[in-house]
């Protein structure tokens, strides 16, 4: 019996030979505000340097609309092929000492933790260890998960 790496391959009975599974993960703290952010205050309070920032009115790309507000993001410095739990743990280690600041910041800005998972395999999945949920409970944040299926084409 043939083994297929993709649902499309299973359904059609044909799959690209040599398909190599690719998995990528990330964990990001995202702070945004339509009325502006003090990037220096955030970095000083957290002791972290932003991975990416954007100001209101700036464009991410030539065809993208202008930013509706300021945005400050910090991505856990973990290789993308590492398990999602490792990304969450690294982010939590960086943020845990600053729970009080982050909860107070929620009064004047949107504070989010965004988890990401992408794969070129259309039937793969991701596990989030139960210990990783501690960060979301402590910060009183919902768990958001971006899932992207990419093709090699």
Give the count of alpha carbons within 13 A of 111, CB side only.
19
Over residues 68-98, the pLDDT tens digits come to 999 999 999 999 999 999 999 999 999 999 9
- Residue-averaged pLDDT of the chain: 87
Write the DSSP string, 111-147: EEEEEEEEES-TT------GGGHHHHHHHT---EEEE
Cα 76 to Cα 44: distance, rounded to the nearest angstrom: 17
Place of tokens 């910090």: 74
Sign of the torsion formed by the C-alpha atoms of 59, 61, 63 and 64: negative
Whole-model pTM: value is: 0.83
The rounded percent of the chain whose pLDDT value lies above 70 is: 85
């Amino acid at each position: 019996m043939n083994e297929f790496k993709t649902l499309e391959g299973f359904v059609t009975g044909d799959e690209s030979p040599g398909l190599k599974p690719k998995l990528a993960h990330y964990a990001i703290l995202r702070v945004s505000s339509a009325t502006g952010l003090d990037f220096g205050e955030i970095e000083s309070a957290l002791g972290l340097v932003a991975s990416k920032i954007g100001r209101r009115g700036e464009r991410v790309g030539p065809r993208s609309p202008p930013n509706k507000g300021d945005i400050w993001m910090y991505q856990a410095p973990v290789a993308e092929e590492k398990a999602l739990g490792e990304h969450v743990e690294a982010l939590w280690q960086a943020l845990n000492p600053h729970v009080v600041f982050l909860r107070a910041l929620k009064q004047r800005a949107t504070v989010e933790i965004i988890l990401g998972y992408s794969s070129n395999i259309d039937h793969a999945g991701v596990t989030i260890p139960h210990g990783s949920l501690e960060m979301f409970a402590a910060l009183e944040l919902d768990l958001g998960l971006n899932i992207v299926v990419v093709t090699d084409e």
